[in-house]
Amino acid sequence: MTTVFMGDGDWRLSDMANGMERSRILTIAASVREMIAQGKQVAPFTVGDFSPEQFEVPSELLTGIVNAVSDGETNYPPAAGLPELRESLSDWMKHKYNLDVGTNGIIVGSGARPVLYSSFRLFLEPGDGLAHGVPAWNNHYYVHLNDAVDIPIPGTLESRFLPTADAIEKRIKEIRILILNSPLNPTGTCFTREELSSICQVILNENKIREADGKKPVMLVYDQVYSTMTADHIEHVHPVQVCPEVFEYTITLDAISKSLTGTGLRLGWMAIPAALAPPVIALIGHMGAWPARPIQKAAASLYSKPEILEKYFDELDQKISVRMSLLQERLSNLTEYGVSIVQPEGGIYLTARFNLFEILGVKTNEEIRQWLLQSAGVAIVPFQAFGLEEETGWFRISIGAVSVSDISAAMDRLESALKTAFAHERNA
């Protein structure tokens, strides 16, 4: 019998599996970890993770997990989440963002990814349009996983790389789901009230037309996992705060992965109009994508105490600010060497452009990335990992796994490497 292979894939796999890409971010991070393990001096500005040595989760959460395990809380939790956790999160969302979905509108997952995937599966049919900003985290992968039509909405430097209402309106007829992220991964920029209100109005105007025509509406998936991390004088805004009418079309995603720096603890949630919750609960149950019961018990207790949370968030913001301010200051002093930045507004990311194409005699971001890694021990992620395929020199820098001294040392190495490269070019 002759075996027939389909393209470059494996004939035993589905077309979806054969076409699936691994995350570019995780691929880069794996190579960086290998270099560090070999003893090389590298600052890991790559993944959106938190080093426990630099950013500790709240002690109340850890104590609660240990106590829950000691109390025998080791059996299956309900698919939607423990009732007390759903109630605590519902109260917290109402307190913090004026978003009131009630206890039945909260569905818990093992991190933000299962509820994000569930959001897409809840509304998308094959061939529906999934619109997302560019650059943005992983949305182009989810287009493939859901057999959707990719609708990238490119941001610009002028819009701080955020998608605008005008750009969305031009594609609105094609869109079934629009996903927005603020603060934005990878750029660390945030929607203003005016920007978000304008986008919501575009959605509402289109949905009035669709309702009259008997068509399914545009749904807004709002990813705010970095919402508690904003720079001084920057306000995080939720769509319902600026446009209450968009409530029935909005799914909110959040998680302790970022806000409590507990990336490995895997607890996220979806806030959704309660009438839409049952199929999501069924899907989470079929996937078995619920967080461990002890983590749910501990989070339920912590989220019922907003004063403890707010204190923790204030202290976390200070740690982030010290690192981000230093990074911003050092990079801003390198403008004569082709370096520029976008003012960080939230999250743990800073966007920087390394316009080194001519000085290094290269043509791609990947070549610049490799030069920065090998010459300066600076490990960062190009915007291609976030869907922006053009060779622009733009990169994401994450401060989640580095100390203040790590940043200082890395910037010293970077400045030295740039000076050497420019001096060599002048003398050539």
**pLDDT tens digit string along 394-405?**
999 999 999 999
The tens digit of pLDDT for each residue in 64-87 reads: 999 999 999 999 999 999 999 999
Average pLDDT estimate for 354-374: 95
Average pLDDT estimate for 287-316: 96
The per-residue pLDDT for 428 is 61
Residue 324 token pair = 């981000």
pLDDT over threshold 50, residue 3: no
**Please, what's the b/e burial string for 99-122 (b: 16 or more CB within 10 A of its CB; e: otherwise)?**
bebebbbbbbbbbbbbbbbbbbeb
Residue 387, SS3? Answer: coil
**Please, what's the b/e burial string for 354-365 (b: 16 or more CB within 10 A of its CB; e: otherwise)?**
bebbebbeeeeb
The per-residue pLDDT for 251 is 97
Q: Is there a cis peptide before residue 183, judged by omega within 30 degrees of 0?
A: yes
Q: What is the DSSP letter of 58?
A: P
Give the sign of the dihedral formed by CA 190, CA 302, CA 306, CA 83.
positive
pLDDT over threshold 80, residue 19: yes
pLDDT over threshold 50, residue 6: no
pLDDT over threshold 90, residue 373: yes
The tens digit of pLDDT for each residue in 211-224 reads: 999 999 999 999 99
**Residue 141: pLDDT band by 50, 70, 90 thresholds?**
confident
**Residue 13: pLDDT band by 50, 70, 90 thresholds?**
confident
Q: Is 205:243 a contact under the CB 8 Å cutoff?
A: no
**Residue 130: pLDDT band by 50, 70, 90 thresholds?**
very high
H helices of 361-403, where?
A: 365-376
The per-residue pLDDT for 203 is 98
Taking the C-alpha atoms of residue 242 and residue 271, their distance in angstroms, rounded to an integer, is 17
Domains of the chain: 15-55+314-427 (3.90.1150.10), 59-310 (3.40.640.10)
Average pLDDT estimate for 388-417: 96
Taking the C-alpha atoms of residue 428 and residue 420, their distance in angstroms, rounded to an integer, is 12
What's the chain's average pLDDT? 93
The per-residue pLDDT for 38 is 79
Q: Is 277:107 a contact under the CB 8 Å cutoff?
A: yes
Q: Is 397:327 a contact under the CB 8 Å cutoff?
A: yes
Taking the C-alpha atoms of residue 88 and residue 93, their distance in angstroms, rounded to an integer, is 9
Of 332, 350, 368, give the one whose Cα is nearest residue 48: 350
Q: How many CB atoms lie within 10 A of CB 204?
A: 15
The per-residue pLDDT for 27 is 77
pLDDT over threshold 60, residue 151: yes
Which one has a higher pLDDT value, 349 or 35?
349
Integer-rounded Cα radius of gyration of the chain? 22
Q: How would DSSP label each residue in 119-171?
A: HHHHHPPTT-EEEEEES-SSHHHHHHHTTPEEEEEE--TTTTT---HHHHHHH
Which one has a higher pLDDT value, 29 or 341?
341
Average pLDDT estimate for 340-359: 96
Backbone angles phi, psi at 333, to 5 degrees: -85, 5
The per-residue pLDDT for 311 is 96
The per-residue pLDDT for 280 is 92
**Residue 8: pLDDT band by 50, 70, 90 thresholds?**
low
The per-residue pLDDT for 5 is 42
Q: For the ranges 44-48, 163-167, 314-318, which has the lowest average pLDDT? A: 44-48
The tens digit of pLDDT for each residue in 220-244 reads: 999 999 999 999 889 999 999 999 9
The residue written with tokens 């010459």 in the block is: 375
pLDDT over threshold 50, residue 186: yes
pTM of the model: 0.92
Q: How would DSSP label each residue in 204-246?
A: HHHHHHHHHHT-PPPEEEEE-TTTT-B-TT-----HHHH-GGG
